[in-house]
Amino acid sequence: MRRWGIPRPAGFTLLEVLVVVTIFAVLSVLAYGGLNAVLEQRRRTGLLLERLHEVQYAFRVMTLDLYQINPRSVRDEIGDGRYSAFVSDERSEYFLQFTRSGWSNPRGAPRSTLQRVAYRIEEDKLIRQYWHVLDRTLANTPVEGEIISGVEEITLRFMDGGREWHETWPPGGSGGAGDFRPLAVEVTVVLEDWGPITRLVEVVS
């Protein structure tokens, strides 16, 4: 006998909907986790690239400065003495101070192409300073800028004409001013995140 009745409406049961929602939630969590990992990796890569550029810039500036050491001594701030063309003494305010050539002057300002520069460490930052005049007075304030941060230590070695290395310059602590320059300078910068990095710079004769 053929039975007649009310046709069952097509659709999903509550259990089927719950299963689909659960699967979609799991896939969403997995997708979000993957996206978050990609974004975090991208952020870390960006920070590493920024740090790399900072380190490269710092060594490029120091290399250009040391490469162009000039034998020009300068008068001290008081005016009754002179600083050597190249001085490095960790007991002084600046662990490195010297005269360099090649100071660019694209505007043709009435000044020398020689420049007196100095390096010091302030907290964990390497600071470079320069003066607009060579024979400065107490009224001449330096222009300074941060070269690199995260510095734990900087050590220098200097090669003399006899190919001997020295920890300070002039060798033996001689304080006479003049054109006594090293043949080469070895710079080792210890960074808190990268460890020690060493560069050897040959001075132009």
DSSP string, the chain: -----PPPPPS--HHHHHHHHHHHHHHHHHHHHHHHHHHHHHHHHHHHHHHHHHHHHHHHHHHHHHHTB----EE-SSSSSEE-SEEB-TTSS-SEEEEES----TT--SS-S-EEEEEEEETTEEEEEEESSSS--TT-PPEEEEEES-EEEEEEEEE-TTS-EESSBSGGG----SS---SEEEEEEEETTTEEEEEEEEPP-
Residue predicted with more confidence, 173 or 96: 96
Q: Are 70 and 53 in contact (CB under 8 A)?
A: no
Q: Of the segments 47-61, 73-87, 170-184, which one has the largest average pLDDT value? A: 47-61
pLDDT band at residue 93 under the 50/70/90 scheme: confident
Domain carrying residue 132: 64-202
Average pLDDT, the chain: 84
Q: How far apart are CA 160 and CA 164, in angstroms?
A: 6
Q: Is 14 part of a structural domain of the chain?
A: no
Q: What total number of domains does the chain contain?
A: 1
Q: How far apart are CA 17 and CA 34, in angstroms?
A: 26
How much is the pLDDT for 177?
A: 45
How much is the pLDDT for 179?
A: 62
Q: Is the pLDDT of residue 5 over 70?
A: no
How much is the pLDDT for 156?
A: 95
Q: What is the pLDDT of residues 96-155, one digit of tens each?
A: 999 999 888 777 777 788 999 999 999 999 999 999 889 888 888 999 999 999 999 999
Q: How far apart are CA 8 and CA 202, in angstroms?
A: 92
Q: Are 82 and 76 in contact (CB under 8 A)?
A: yes
Q: Is 6 part of a structural domain of the chain?
A: no
Q: Is 96 part of a structural domain of the chain?
A: yes
Q: Is 82 part of a structural domain of the chain?
A: yes
Q: Is 175 part of a structural domain of the chain?
A: yes
Residue predicted with more confidence, 34 or 67: 67
Q: Is 191 part of a structural domain of the chain?
A: yes
Percentage of the chain lying above the pLDDT 90 cut: 44
How much is the pLDDT for 129?
A: 96
CATH code, domain carrying 108: 3.10.610.10
- CB-based contacts of 102, cutoff 8 Å, min separation 6: 64, 68, 113
